[in-house]
């Protein structure tokens, strides 16, 4: 007896240990979104664009470097005319506000990079949330199938006992058992789907999410919006249209820079030299020091060909056209997303009117009648399938409603998703 007790105890402890190993770490939406913002590799790569653009501002403000020249010569190797040593420093004096134009252009490009980063984050948060919703939906559908399987398995066990007692036929008992086996296959299939949806979150959080258990309420995606307010919000606040507007400013600063580059720069130089004593008998000379000042003016024949300026002007026109195109697209996108969300809300109202509860009551009633011998197994199976389909459709619709809201907020340039 003591030996048997030890075996039972060891098996129990082993079972507890195995179950503890299979318990997955819970993952909540706020925690998940924090991972996305901090760990997402694509977002980290995009941040480098901002850092590089800000570094370009410092580069744009650099003055031209001066040049130092050193020269020595022998005035006559065989004539003994002495040696000459000369040194000079020269630099370019930029005119026309080139440095200011460069800095302004670099600042506009840096601001454009920041807005592009914001737009990348806007889409990343929406995509990451859609992935989380997909994982939640898969989990909900799996639970529905598990509950259905457990219910059918319980019925199959009951039918097995009833068959042995002679209350039902062997075919009826086999049919309920076969239905339970079929539902178990569906459970296995949905387990794989659910695991894949959770694993897909790894791409958003930058590390493995396979052993995570997503948590959240799909009923938390109900908002009341006014379409005109959403369009106004999107046109004024969406990061991609702000980036497009900033691109116009950047294009304008490039035109200023090209105009400034057409202004000539002056080359200034200053130097000194020393001539040693010349002992030549015909033309002896003492040692002398010399000072030189110089200025050089380039001949800008290239100004006749103003291709760079024309390209900059065309870039400005292109930026303006793109801005108008984005503005028109935003109006259409917000309207379509609003229509999709409104449609999902109306469909949900059908379930809120008691469809699920009614189907559940029908299933319970038919099952009770079957156990009393007043209905057939086919009626039970049909009621069970109808109830399962309704529950699955309900969770599918909850996920579609959540996705429609996420897409609407993405298109409107707002974000208040929290569940």
Per-residue confidence (pLDDT) for residue 202, from 0 to 100: 93
Mean pLDDT, the chain, as a whole number?
86
So what's the pLDDT on residue 409? 95
Find out whether 227 and 334 touch, Cβ atoms under 8 Å: yes
Does the reported pTM lie above 0.85?
no
Counting residues of the chain whose pLDDT is more than 70, the rounded percentage is 92
Residue ranges of alpha helices (H) inside 94-222 are 98-165, 170-199, 202-205
Q: Measure CA 47 to chain center.
A: 12
Write down the pLDDT at residue 5.
Answer: 37
**pLDDT, mean of each 10-residue run, the chain (419 residues):** 38 39 80 93 94 92 89 71 84 89 93 95 95 95 91 83 78 82 90 93 89 90 93 94 95 92 88 81 77 87 82 94 95 96 90 74 80 79 84 92 96 91
Query: pLDDT per residue over 295-308, tens digit each?
Result: 988 888 777 778 88
């Amino acid at each position: 007896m003591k030996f048997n007790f030890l075996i039972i105890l060891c098996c129990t402890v082993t079972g507890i240990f195995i179950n503890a190993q299979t318990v997955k770490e819970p993952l909540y939406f706020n925690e998940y979104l924090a991972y996305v913002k901090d760990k997402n590799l694509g977002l980290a790569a995009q941040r480098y664009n901002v850092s590089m653009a800000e570094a370009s501002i410092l580069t744009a403000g650099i003055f031209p470097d001066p040049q130092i020249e050193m020269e020595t010569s022998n005035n006559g190797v065989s004539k003994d005319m002495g040696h000459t040593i000369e040194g000079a420093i020269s630099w370019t004096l930029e005119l026309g506000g080139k440095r200011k134009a460069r800095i302004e252009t670099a600042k506009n490009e840096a601001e454009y990079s920041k807005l592009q980063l914001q737009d990348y984050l806007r889409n990343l948060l929406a995509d990451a949330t859609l992935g989380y919703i997909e994982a939640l939906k898969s989990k909900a559908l799996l639970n529905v199938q598990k509950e259905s399987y457990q219910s059918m398995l319980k019925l199959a066990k009951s039918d097995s006992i009833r068959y042995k007692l002679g209350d039902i036929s062997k075919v009826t008992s086999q049919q309920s058992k076969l239905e339970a086996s079929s539902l178990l296959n569906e459970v296995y299939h949905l387990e794989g789907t659910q695991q894949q949806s959770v694993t897909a979150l790894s791409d958003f959080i930058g590390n493995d999410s396979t052993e995570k258990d997503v948590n959240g309420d799909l009923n938390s995606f109900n908002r009341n919006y006014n379409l005109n307010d959403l369009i106004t919000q999107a046109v004024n606040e969406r990061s991609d249209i702000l980036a497009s507007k900033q691109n116009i400013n950047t294009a304008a600063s490039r035109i200023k820079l090209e105009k400034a580059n057409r202004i000539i720069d002056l080359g200034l130089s200053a130097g000194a030299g020393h001539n040693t004593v010349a002992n030549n008998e015909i033309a002896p000379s003492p040692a002398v020091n010399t000072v030189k000042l110089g200025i050089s003016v380039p001949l800008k024949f290239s100004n006749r060909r103003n291709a760079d300026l024309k390209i900059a002007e065309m870039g400005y026109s292109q930026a303006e056209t793109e801005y108008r195109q984005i503005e028109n697209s935003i109006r259409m996108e917000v309207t379509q997303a609003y229509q999709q969300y409104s449609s999902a809300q109306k469909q949900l109202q059908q379930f809120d009117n008691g469809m699920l509860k009614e189907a559940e009551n029908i299933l319970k009633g038919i099952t009770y009648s079957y156990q009393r011998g007043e209905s057939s197994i086919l009626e039970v199976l049909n009621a069970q399938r109808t109830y399962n389909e309704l529950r699955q459709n309900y969770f599918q619709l909850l996920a579609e409603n959540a996705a429609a809201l996420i897409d609407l907020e993405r298109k409107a340039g707002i974000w208040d998703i929290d569940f």
